Amino acid sequence: MARQTITPVVAPGRYPTDGVEGTPTAADATNKEQYTMTGRELVIAYNKHATDAATVTITSVADPRTGRTGTITADSIPAGKFHVFGPFAQEGWMQTDGYMYMEASAADILWFVVRIPAF
């Protein structure tokens, strides 16, 4: 099956008058996740499990200048905690199809993707 595509929530910008509402996406440990990448996104992974840690992986691509890869591999998130990642440069992170690839070890991971508006 195809990866589930997460739609980023766009942050309200410099002069907000209210917050924006977002809904988390539960990880699919089999099919994994992706979002359309602009380079202005923060990725938040929350582990909702009461006692067990879970891991997340965010997949990089080879940087065209250095060939460097920097995949975040099996980053362990304790129960009841969250980790924030990014924003990520498109170069070195965006897959050839325009997406960022993510995956989690358990459905207890909830993904939030927040897009920072261009200034």
Q: What is the pLDDT of residues 48-68, one digit of tens each?
A: 999 999 999 999 999 888 888
Q: Options 3.40.50, 1.10.8, 3.40.1800, 2.60.290; which CATH number does 4-8+25-115 get? A: 2.60.290
* pTM of the model as a whole: 0.93
Q: What is the mean pLDDT of residues 86-91?
A: 94
CA separation, residue 72 to residues 42, 60, 69, 99 (Å): 14, 8, 10, 16
